[in-house]
Amino acid sequence: MTTSSFMAFLPELVLLSGALVLFVLTLGESQGRQARIAALLTALATVAAAALCLGQHAVLFSGAYRVDAFSQLLKLVFASGLAFILLLSGRLPDIRDQIKPEYFLFLTLSVSGLVMLVSCVDLITLVIALELSSYPLYLMVPMRREREGQRSQMESAIKYVMFGVAATGIMLFGLSYLFGLTGTTSLPLLIVRLQPVIHSPPAVVGLALAFCGLYYKLAVFPFHFWTPDVYQGASNETAGLIASLPKIGAVAVLVRFVSLSPSDNQVIALLLTGLAMASMFYGNLIALAQKDFKRLLGFSGIAHAGYAVVGFVSLSTAGYAAALYYIVGYMLMILACFVVICQVSRDGTNVAIAELAGLHRRSPLLALTLVVGVFGLAGIPPFVGFMGKLTLLTSALAQGHLALVIVAMINAAIAIYYYLRVVREAVFGDPAGNQPPIALDWPTRMLCALLIAAIVAFGVAPEPVIDALAASLGGLNLPL
Amino acid sequence: MTPTTSLPMLSLLIFGPLAAAAVAVLLPNDRLQRWWALISTSAIAAFSLPLFWRFNPDTAAFQFTEHASWIPWLKADYALGIDGISLLLVLLTTLITPLCVLASWRYITTRVKEFMICFLIMEAAMVGVFSALDAILFFVFWESMLIPMTLLIGVWGGPRRIYASIKFFIYTMSGSVFLIVALIALRIQTGSFSIPGMMGQPYTPDFQIWVFAAFFISFAIKVPMFPFHTWLPAAHVEAPTAGSVILASVLLKMGTYGFLRFCLPITPYATRLFAPYILGLSVIAILYGGLTALAQSDLKKLVAYSSVGHMGFATLGIFVLNAHGIEGATLVMINHGVTTGALFICVGIIYERLHTRDLSEAAGIGKYMPIFSGFLGVFCLSSLAFPGTNSFIGEFLVLAGSFGHSKVLTACAVPGVVIAAAYMLRMLQKVAWGGTRNPDHAGLTDIDFREIVTLTPLLVFVFWIGLHPQPFVRVMHPTVLHLIEQAGAALPPAAAALP
C-alpha cells in the first residue's frame, strides 16, 4: 500500500484498530467503563481521520473500493454519528455489565460496516459491507436485560434477523439479474453496460429487487414490519443506533443504485412514488395511535423513510442530494429524541409518552432538546427538518411530481398531531406524582447542546452541507 | 428612490430581539428579566421609528432593501425590504411589543425568563414576516412564530390552554402546508424564490387558480375568515393577556398581509375571479362575528368574536380591489391592532383584579375604577367606529370602497357597524355603570401608573389616526395604487385566449 492509499483508507483503519482494541477488552473481566472510553476515543480518532481525509481520491482493492468526495463526506457523518451514539450510551442500564465490552465492540463494528459501505463500488463488497453493518445489530438487540420473565428483546431480535435475511436474499436475487444482464459486479462497468437495456423488464426488475435490501434498512413500506417491534424490544441506546446511522447508509447506497437508472425511467419513478406514498401514510396514520414513545418514533421513522424516498423519485442529482441532506438531518433529530428517552428512563425500561409529562420541570435542557427534535421532525422552520422537506419537495416538484408533493404535505400535516402530543406532555403537562428532577452528566449536556446547535444550524444555513453533498454526487459512479 | 442607508435597519430589527433573547438566557432573576425585556423592546421600538421618517412616501418601490445570498442551491436569498403597507405593520409590531411586556408585568409569575424569551423570538419573527422579500425567508418567519405562540398559550394560558394551543397549532400548520407547495410551484415557474420576481408574471389561468387556492386556505386560516375562525376564540380565551394582544394585534394581520403581498400581485386573475366569493365570506364574517359577540358573557370571548367581525372589514376592503377599499383595509388592520390590543389589555386588567372575565361578575366596577372606565370607554367607542376615533376612518374608507364596488354588498355590511355598537355599548354599560353593588368589588383599586403607561400610547393612536389619518394614508398611497395596478393586470394574450 502506498502512502496515498494508506491515507485514503485511514478512517477505516482507525475504526478497525479501535474494534481490535475493544475485542481485546472483551477477553478480560467485565471492563465496561474502559470499553466505553476506548470506543469513544476510537470514534473521536475516526472523526479526526475522516476530516483529515476529506479530499482523498483513490481506488483500492482492484477497483472494488472507491474513495471519493461522496464516500469521504459520509464517512465523516458516520464517525460523528458514532461519537453521538457513544455519548448517548453513557450508563447502558439495560445491558449487563459482563457484556458491555462486547456491546461496544459490536457497535463499533456495525459502524465500520457502514463506513465501508459508502465506498463500495462492487456488488460483492457492497453486500458484504451491508452485512457487516447488519450482523452486529442483530446481536445487539437481544443483548438487552431480561425483565419480569419478559423476553420481548428475543422476539424482536428474531424478527429483525428474519426480515433482514429475507431482504438480503431478495436483494441478492435482484443483483443476480443485473449481473446476468451485464456480466460484471463492478458498479462503474455496470452502469455503462446497463444503459442499452435499462428499460427492459429484467433490468427494471433487477434494480427494483436490489433496492429491497436497502428499503429494509431504511424501513420503507412494505419492508417496515420489524421497525416498531425492534425499536420497542431493543434497549433504548440500541434503538437509537438502529434508528439513525443505518438509514444514512441505506440512502447512500440507494443513491448509487438509483443513479444507475436514467432520469426518464418512468417505471422506477412510479415504483418509488408508490413506496413513498405508502410509507408516509402508513407510518403517520399508525403513529397517531401509539402510546410508547419508541414505537411512535418507529412508525414516524417509516414515514420519514417515505420522505427520503421522495428525493429519489425525481431521479436527479438535486433529489439525491436532498435525500442525503434530509436523512443526515433526520439522524440529528432522532438522536435528540433518543437522548431524552435514554435519560428519562433511569432503569432502561421503555418510555411511554405519558411518562414524559412535566419534563420541563424535571430537566429544562432535556425538554428543550425534545422540543427542538420533535418540532424538527414535524418540519417546522427554522429546524433542519423543514429545510430537508423543502429541498425534497422542490426537487420532486421540479420534475413535475405534483401529486407526490401534495401527499407529502398532507402527511406533514397529519404528523403534526402526534408530535404535538409529545410536546404537550413534555412542556405543557405537570409531572405525575413525585418525579425527581433528572440530573444530567456533562457528556449528555454536551450532546444535547451539540444536537440542538446542529439542528438549528443545518436548518438556518443549509447551503454548505447541501452544496458539499451535491458536489460530491457529481463524480458518483463515473468510471475512474 | 430607495433611501440610501448605512445601517441594515430591518436586519437589526430582526436580530435585535434575538440578541436580547440570548442575553435574557443569562439573567438571573425574574425582576431583571422583566426590566430587560421592557428596556430591550422599548429600545427596539425607538430604533424602528426612523423607518417612518426616512421612508419615502412618493414611491411604491421597496425601501430599506437588503440583499444577501442565503441558499443559492435553492435560489432562496436573504432579501428584506418594506413598502408603505409593510412599514405600518412593522411599526405596529415593534410598538405593541413593549406594551405586551408591560401588560404581563404582574400577570406572568411563573417561568418569566422563558416567557420573555418566547416574546422576543416572536417579535423577531413578526418583523421578519412583514419585511421578507424572499418566499422561503417569509415562510421560515411565518412558521417560526408558531412554536413560541403555541408555548405562550400552552404554558401560561388558562384552564383549557392545552386544547387551545394544539388547536391553534394544527389549524395554522395545516394551512401552511398548502402555502409551501404554492411557493415551490411559483419558484419552479419563475426560477427563484424572490417575491417581487413572482409578481406580474404571465401565469396561466389554471396555475393562478391553484396557487390562489393554496394561498387562500393558508391566509384565510390566519386572518381568520369565516368558516376557518374556530381556533381564534379558543386561543384568545386561553392565552395570557399579552398573548391575546399579540395574537390580535399582529398575528391576524399576517393573514391579511399575505393577501396583499401574495394574492393580489402574484395571482391577479384568480383574485378577480374569486373576489366575489371572498367578499361574501367577509360580509358573513362581519355579521356572524358581531352577532356572536353580542351573545357572549365572557369578556375575552366577546372581544375575540369582535375580532372576527373587524377582520371581515379588512378582507372586505382588500377584495373590493379599489384604492379606498385597500387603504381602508390597511387602516382597519392597524386600528384593530391598536383598539383590540387595548381591549384585551383592559380585560386582562379586570381579570387580574377579579379573577374572572364574566361580564355580570365585572358589572359595576366603574364605580371603583374611574380612570380605568375612562380608558375602557374610549377603546369601546373606538371599536364600534365612533367618529373621531381611529376605527371610524378605516371602516368608513372600506365601506366607501365597497359602495363603489357593489351597493348590495355594502348594504349587507353596514348592519355590522350597528351590531358592533350594540355589543360594545352593552359591555361598556355593564362594566362601567352596571347594576348592583357586588361585595367582591369593595377592595378594588383603580389602575396604577404601570397600567396607565401601558394604555396611554394606544389611546394616543386612537385619536391620532382618528383625527389626523393623513400621515398614515400618505405613506401607503403609492403602494396601494401600485397594488391595484398589479391586481388589474390582464392575462397574457396567449393565456387569455384559452376558453
Q: From residue B161, how far is each of B114, B135, B150, B156, B168 by CA, in Å?
A: 17, 32, 9, 8, 10
- Give A350's pLDDT tier (boundaries 50, 70, 90): confident
- Give B92's pLDDT tier (boundaries 50, 70, 90): very high
Mean per-residue pLDDT, B105-115: 85
In a domain, B185, yes or no: no
Q: From residue A304, how far is each of A93, A145, A227, A414 by CA, in Å?
A: 29, 30, 12, 13
Chain A within 8 Å of B184 (Cβ-Cβ)? yes
- Give B18's pLDDT tier (boundaries 50, 70, 90): very high
Comparing CB atoms, the residue among B162, B178, B185 nearest residue A424 is: B162
Comparing CB atoms, the residue among B151, B155, B177 nearest residue A412 is: B177
Query: Which chain A residue shows the shortest CA-CA distance from B140?
Result: A381
Is B58 exposed, middle or buried (CB count within 10 Å of its CB: 0-12, 13-18, 19+)?
exposed
Question: Predicted ipTM?
Answer: 0.88
CA distance B234 to chain A (A): 16
Listed ranges A285-299, B5-19, B60-74; the one with the highest mean pLDDT: A285-299
> Taking a C-beta distance cutoff of 8 angstroms, is the pair A452, A371 a contact?
no
CA distance B64 to chain A (A): 23
A-chain CB neighbours of B139 within 8 Å are 381
Residue A25 has a CB neighbour count (10 Å cut-off) of 22
Contact B165 A410 (CB under 8 A): no
- Give A480's pLDDT tier (boundaries 50, 70, 90): very low
Contact B169 A405 (CB under 8 A): no
In a domain, A479, yes or no: no
What pLDDT was estimated at residue B498?
43
Retrieve residue B188's grid coordinates. Answer: 419552479
Mean per-residue pLDDT, B123-141: 92
Query: Which chain B residue shows the shortest CA-CA distance from A388?
Result: B74
Query: Which chain B residue shows the shortest CA-CA distance from A391?
Result: B74
Chain A within 8 Å of B498 (Cβ-Cβ)? no
Contact A375 B161 (CB under 8 A): no
In a domain, B379, yes or no: yes
Q: By percentage, how much of chain A surpasses pLDDT 70? A: 97
Chain A within 8 Å of B152 (Cβ-Cβ)? no
What pLDDT was estimated at residue A116?
92
Model confidence at B335: pLDDT above 50: yes
In a domain, B181, yes or no: no
Chain A within 8 Å of B147 (Cβ-Cβ)? yes
Q: Which residue has the cell 372575565?
A: B357
**3 state SS for A156-204:** HHHHHHHHHHHHHHHHHHHHHHHHHHHCCCEHHHHHHHHHHHCCCHHHH
Model confidence at A77: pLDDT above 90: yes
- The CA distance from A206 to A173, in Å, is 8
What pLDDT was estimated at residue A129?
92
In a domain, B53, yes or no: no
Mean per-residue pLDDT, B379-387: 89
What pLDDT was estimated at residue A478?
56
A341, amino acid identity: I
Contact B74 A391 (CB under 8 A): yes
Chain A within 8 Å of B22 (Cβ-Cβ)? no
A-chain CB neighbours of B187 within 8 Å are 394
Comparing CB atoms, the residue among A380, A382, A466 nearest residue B73 is: A466
- The CA distance from B63 to A318, in Å, is 34
Contact A427 B151 (CB under 8 A): yes
Q: Which residue has the higher pLDDT, B18 or A90?
A: B18
Contact A386 B178 (CB under 8 A): no
Question: What is the count of structural domains for chain B?
Answer: 1
Contact B161 A386 (CB under 8 A): no
- Round the average pLDDT of chain B to a whole number and report it: 87
Model confidence at A436: pLDDT above 90: no
Contact A394 B188 (CB under 8 A): yes
Model confidence at A402: pLDDT above 60: yes
Q: Which residue has the cell 357572549?
A: B296
Query: Which chain A residue shows the shortest CA-CA distance from B153?
Result: A428
Is B340 exposed, middle or buried (CB count within 10 Å of its CB: 0-12, 13-18, 19+)?
buried
In a domain, B351, yes or no: yes
Retrieve residue B139's grid coordinates. Answer: 415562510
Contact B170 A420 (CB under 8 A): yes
- The CA distance from B424 to B416, in Å, is 12
Chain A within 8 Å of B12 (Cβ-Cβ)? no
- The CA distance from A413 to A425, in Å, is 20
- Give A327's pLDDT tier (boundaries 50, 70, 90): very high
Under 8 Å CB-to-CB from A253, ≥6 apart: which residues?
A117, A118, A120, A126, A130, A214
Chains A and B form CB pairs within 8 A to the count of: 78
CA distance B297 to chain A (A): 28
Q: Which of A394, A402, A405, A411 to mutate to test the interface with B (most CBs of B within 10 A)?
A: A394
Comparing CB atoms, the residue among A390, A397, A429 nearest residue B136 is: A390
- Round the average pLDDT of chain A to a whole number and report it: 87
Chain A within 8 Å of B344 (Cβ-Cβ)? no
Contact A463 B72 (CB under 8 A): yes
pLDDT one-digit tens code per residue, A114-167: 999 998 888 899 999 999 999 999 999 888 887 766 678 888 889 899 999 999
In a domain, A480, yes or no: no
- Give B497's pLDDT tier (boundaries 50, 70, 90): very low
In a domain, A117, yes or no: yes
Question: What is the count of structural domains for chain A?
Answer: 1
Comparing CB atoms, the residue among B71, B155, B174 nearest residue A413 is: B174
Chain A within 8 Å of B178 (Cβ-Cβ)? yes
Contact A428 B144 (CB under 8 A): no
- The CA distance from A31 to A473, in Å, is 42
Comparing CB atoms, the residue among A380, A417, A424 nearest residue B146 is: A380
Model confidence at B496: pLDDT above 50: no
Strand partners, A144: A95
Contact B144 A382 (CB under 8 A): yes
Chain A residues within 8 Å of chain B (Cβ atoms): 371, 375, 380-382, 386, 390-391, 393-394, 397-398, 402, 405-406, 409-410, 412-413, 416-417, 420, 423-424, 427-429, 462-463, 466-467, 470
What pLDDT was estimated at residue A266?
82
- The CA distance from A449 to A438, in Å, is 16
- Give A262's pLDDT tier (boundaries 50, 70, 90): confident
Q: By percentage, how much of chain B surpasses pLDDT 90? A: 28
- Give B214's pLDDT tier (boundaries 50, 70, 90): very high
Contact A406 B181 (CB under 8 A): yes
Mean per-residue pLDDT, B451-470: 90
B120, amino acid identity: L
What pLDDT was estimated at residue B359?
83
* Domain carrying residue A28: 3-474
Length of chain A counted residue by residue: 480
In a domain, B83, yes or no: no
In a domain, B347, yes or no: yes
- The CA distance from A255 to A316, in Å, is 10
* Domain carrying residue B399: 267-488
Query: Which chain A residue shows the shortest CA-CA distance from B121?
Result: A382
Query: Which chain A residue shows the shortest CA-CA distance from B178?
Result: A409
Query: Which chain B residue shows the shortest CA-CA distance from A399?
Result: B188
- The CA distance from A50 to A70, in Å, is 12
In a domain, B122, yes or no: no
What pLDDT was estimated at residue A3?
63
What pLDDT was estimated at residue B490?
61
What pLDDT was estimated at residue B297?
87
